[in-house]
Amino acid sequence: MEKMFCFQCQETAKNEGCTIKGVCGKTADVANLQDLLMYICKGISHYTVALRKFGIEMNEINKFITDSLFMTITNANFYRSRFITRLRIAYEMRNAAKEQLAKAGGNVDAITFDGALWQGYTEAEMDEKALSVGVLSTENIDVRSLRELTIYGLKGMAAYLEHAFNLGYEVSEIYAFMQKALVATTDDSLSADDLTALVLETGQYGVQAMALLDKANTTSYGNPEITQVNIGVRTNPGILISGHDLKDMEELLKQTEGTGVDVYTHSEMLPAHYYPAFKKYSHFVGNYGSSWWHQVEDFENFNGVILFTTNCIVPPRKTSTYSDRVYTTGASGFDGFKHIADRKDGKPKDFSALIEHAKRCAPPKEIEQGTIVGGFAHNQVIALADKVVEAVKSGAIRKFFVMGGCDGRMNGRNYYTEFAQRLPSDTVILTAGCAKYRYNKLKLGTINGIPRVLDAGQCNDSYSLAKIALALKDAFGLDDLNDLPIVYNIAWYEQKAVIVLLALLYLGVKNIHLGPTLPAFLSPNVANVLVNNFGISGIGTVDEDLKAML
C-alpha cells in the first residue's frame, strides 16, 4: 500500500501522484492528516447543510472549514502538530453542529457518512484512519477526478475568502456552497454529469470569491495604480514579507514604522506596492528576489527576518542558515519556523518579536538594481481604455496574451520566458500571479507608452484580467468574449490556479492553453470533457505555439 497519495499540484511525482513523500517536501504523515482533516470537514458539512434548512448558520464553522481547506493547499502548512490540534477541534465543532441539529428537530441519525461520525483523539488513531480516507478511496477514476477537481477549486477559493474575511468581508452563500459541494463529494449517487455541473458551479462561486476579495482589497487600500517598484536594497535591516495577505501587510507596515527596520516584499506580495494605502510608508522599500521557489537563495541573501502570510513555503535545505529567521502566520506553518498567533478580540497581530529580531540582523545583500512596473488592475487599465482601444484599432497592438498563473521549479517552465521573449513587438502580455517572474524583468518595451507586460497583481487579481476582457468586449461592441484578440496561455501550479481556471471557464472563456503539463488529477474522460466543451489544451513547443496562437 502507498504511504500517501497526493496529486493536487503541477509538480506531482511523474505527473501521476506523490506516494512516498511530496515533491513539495510534505511528509507522508502530514499529507495523510490533511486528507483526514478534509474527511472530517466533509463530515461537519453534512450537519451544517442540514442546519441551513432550519435557517441556522454556524459562523465559527464557516471560518473553520475555510481555514482547513486553505491549510491543505500546496506549500502552505507542513506542520504535523497543527493538523493534530486542528483535528481535535474539528470533532468538537462537529459535535456542536450535531447537537444544534438535534435541538432544531433535525434527524441526526439520517447522517451516516463515516466522516460525520468517526473520531480518534490519539495520534496513532489519526495516523491509522488517515490511510483509508484519501483520494484513492474513491475507486472510479472519473468520479475521483471530478470530486478532486471540485475540492481543489474549493481550496483555492478558501484562500481568497480567508484574505477577504481578514478585511471584514464575507458572503454566507459562498460558505453554504462550499459546504454543499464538500457533501456532494461524498455522495455516491451523483453521476459524472452531476459532478461536472458541480465543477462548473464551483467556478461560478470562484468568480464571486475573487470579486469579494477584489472589493475587500480595493475598498481597504484603494485601487492599484501604475507603480515603479524598486528591486534594489537600502542599508537598514529588513523584514521580507511573502504570501498574499494584505491585512498582515498593513499591520506589519504600521508596526515597523519608525523602528529603523525596512519592509520588502517577496514573490506574490509584490503587488502590495501598487496600493495607494501602502505607498505612504517610506520604509516600504521594494521587492526582493523572485518567485516562491527561489526563496532558498533569496532568504539566505536577505539576511533579515522573513514572514510567510500564506504559501508557498519551500522546506529549507540542511545547509540553509535562515530557518531561525523565518516566521509564519495565518494558515501557513512549518515545523522549525516560529508562528505568530491570530488576531484576537479585533486587535492586530503582534509582530513585535519579528521587529526586535530584525533589528539584530544585517541589512539585505544587494542582488539586483532598478525597478519593475506593475499596477495594471482593472480600474487602472479601464482608465487607460481609450488608449488601449485606439492602439488595437490602429494596429499598434495586434494581440493580448493572458499569461497569468503560477511559477514553479520544473525545467519546462523556461517555455514561458522564451515565449514572452519571442512574442512580436505588437503584442501585450496581461499577467497576474507569480508566473510573471518568468518575464517581468525582461526589457520588452512599450507600445504607445503602454508597457508590453501589464501586471494586474496576485493570482486572485486574475479577476481583474477577466474584468478587463469584459470591458474591452464592450468597448469593441462584441457579443462574445472569445471574439476579442486575446489568447490565454496560462501556467498553473497549485489549487488557487485551479479556481482561477474554473472561474474563467464559468465566464465563458474558451481555448485556454494550460501548462507546463495538464493536471494529473484529470482522468482521460474528464480531460476530454474540458477539451470538447471548452477547447482546453496543453502547450507545445514555443515555435509551434507562437505560430498557432498568433
8 binds, among ligand FSO, ligand SF4, none (CB under 5 to 8 A by kind): ligand SF4
Residue type, 326: V
Q: Residue 455 interacts with ligand FSO (CB under 6 A)?
A: no
Shortest distance, position 455 Cβ to ligand FSO, whole Å: 12
Q: Which is nearer to ligand SF4, 93 or 514 (CB)?
A: 514
Query: CA-CA distance, 280 to 268, in Å (whole number)?
Result: 20
Q: Please say whether the beta carbons of 511 and 482 come within 8 A.
A: yes
105-125 burial, b if ≥16 CB within 10 A, otherwise e? ebebeebeeebbebbbeeeee
11 binds, among ligand SF4, ligand FSO, none (CB under 5 to 8 A by kind): ligand SF4
User: Applying CB under 6 A, which of residues 36, 41, 229, 406 lies at the interface with ligand FSO?
Assistant: 406
- Phi and psi at residue 547, in whole multiples of 5°? -60, -50
Torsion of CA 126, 127, 130, 136, to 10 degrees: -170
353's grid cell = 518579536
Query: What's the start-to-end Cα distance of the chain, in Å?
Result: 48
Shortest distance, position 494 Cβ to ligand SF4, whole Å: 7
CA nearest neighbour of 111 among 61, 175, 50: 50
Q: What is the CA radius of gyration of the chain?
A: 23
292 binds, among ligand SF4, ligand FSO, none (CB under 5 to 8 A by kind): ligand FSO
Query: CA-CA distance, 550 to 546, in Å (whole number)?
Result: 6
Which range in 366-374, 388-396, 479-487, 488-496 contacts ligand FSO by CB under 6 A?
Answer: 488-496
**In the complex, which residues of this chain contact ligand SF4 (CB under 6 A)?**
6-9, 11-12, 18, 22-24, 26, 31, 74
Query: CA-CA distance, 536 to 513, in Å (whole number)?
Result: 6
Query: CA-CA distance, 219 to 226, in Å (whole number)?
Result: 18
Using CB under 6 A as the binding rule, the residues of this chain from 252 to 311 that contact ligand FSO are 267-268, 292, 311
Q: Please say whether the beta carbons of 391 and 450 come within 8 A.
A: yes
Beta strand extents in 442-507 (DSSP E only): 446-447, 450-451, 453-455, 486-491
User: Applying CB under 6 A, which of residues 36, 37, 136, 312 lies at the interface with ligand FSO?
Assistant: 312
Q: Residue 30 interacts with ligand FSO (CB under 6 A)?
A: no
Q: Which is nearer to ligand FSO, 47 or 308 (CB)?
A: 308
Query: CA-CA distance, 60 to 97, in Å (whole number)?
Result: 10
Q: Which is nearer to ligand SF4, 23 or 384 (CB)?
A: 23
Shortest distance, position 358 Cβ to ligand SF4, whole Å: 31
3-state secondary structure of 479: coil
Residue type, 504: L
457 binds, among ligand FSO, ligand SF4, none (CB under 5 to 8 A by kind): none
Q: Please say whether the beta carbons of 198 and 146 come within 8 A.
A: yes
Q: Residue 249 interacts with ligand FSO (CB under 6 A)?
A: no
Q: Which is nearer to ligand SF4, 29 or 214 (CB)?
A: 29
Q: Which is nearer to ligand SF4, 151 or 372 (CB)?
A: 151
3-state secondary structure of 137: helix
Shortest distance, position 460 Cβ to ligand SF4, whole Å: 19
User: Applying CB under 6 A, which of residues 32, 208, 458, 523 lies at the interface with ligand FSO?
Assistant: 458
Shortest distance, position 78 Cβ to ligand FSO, whole Å: 14
Q: Which is nearer to ligand FSO, 62 or 291 (CB)?
A: 291
332 binds, among ligand FSO, ligand SF4, none (CB under 5 to 8 A by kind): none
459 binds, among ligand SF4, ligand FSO, none (CB under 5 to 8 A by kind): ligand FSO
Q: Which is nearer to ligand SF4, 7 or 488 (CB)?
A: 7
Q: Please say whether the beta carbons of 146 and 199 come within 8 A.
A: yes
12 binds, among ligand FSO, ligand SF4, none (CB under 5 to 8 A by kind): ligand SF4
Residue type, 263: V
126's grid cell = 489519526
User: DSSP readout, 313-352?
Assistant: --PPPTT-S-GGGEEEETT-B-BTBEEEPPP-TTPPP--H
Shortest distance, position 73 Cβ to ligand FSO, whole Å: 7
433 binds, among ligand FSO, ligand SF4, none (CB under 5 to 8 A by kind): ligand FSO
Which of the 8 DSSP states describes residue 18? B
User: Applying CB under 6 A, which of residues 497, 502, 504, 514 lies at the interface with ligand FSO?
Assistant: 497
Q: Which is nearer to ligand FSO, 438 or 467 (CB)?
A: 438
Q: Please say whether the beta carbons of 368 and 397 come within 8 A.
A: no
290 binds, among ligand FSO, ligand SF4, none (CB under 5 to 8 A by kind): none
**Cα–Cα distances in angstroms (integers) from residue 472 to residues 178, 393, 505, in the given order:** 32, 12, 18
Q: Please say whether the beta carbons of 3 and 28 come within 8 A.
A: yes
Q: Residue 434 interacts with ligand FSO (CB under 6 A)?
A: yes
434 binds, among ligand FSO, ligand SF4, none (CB under 5 to 8 A by kind): ligand FSO
Q: Residue 7 interacts with ligand FSO (CB under 6 A)?
A: no
Q: Residue 515 interacts with ligand FSO (CB under 6 A)?
A: no
Query: CA-CA distance, 311 to 331, in Å (whole number)?
Result: 8
Shortest distance, position 23 Cβ to ligand FSO, whole Å: 14
Query: CA-CA distance, 114 to 110, in Å (whole number)?
Result: 12
401 binds, among ligand FSO, ligand SF4, none (CB under 5 to 8 A by kind): none
Shortest distance, position 372 Cβ to ligand FSO, whole Å: 16
Closest-CB residue for ligand SF4? 22
Residue 287 forms beta bridges with which residues?
Answer: 265
Q: Which residues bind ligand FSO (CB under 6 A)?
A: 267-268, 292, 311-312, 406, 433-434, 458-459, 493-494, 496-497
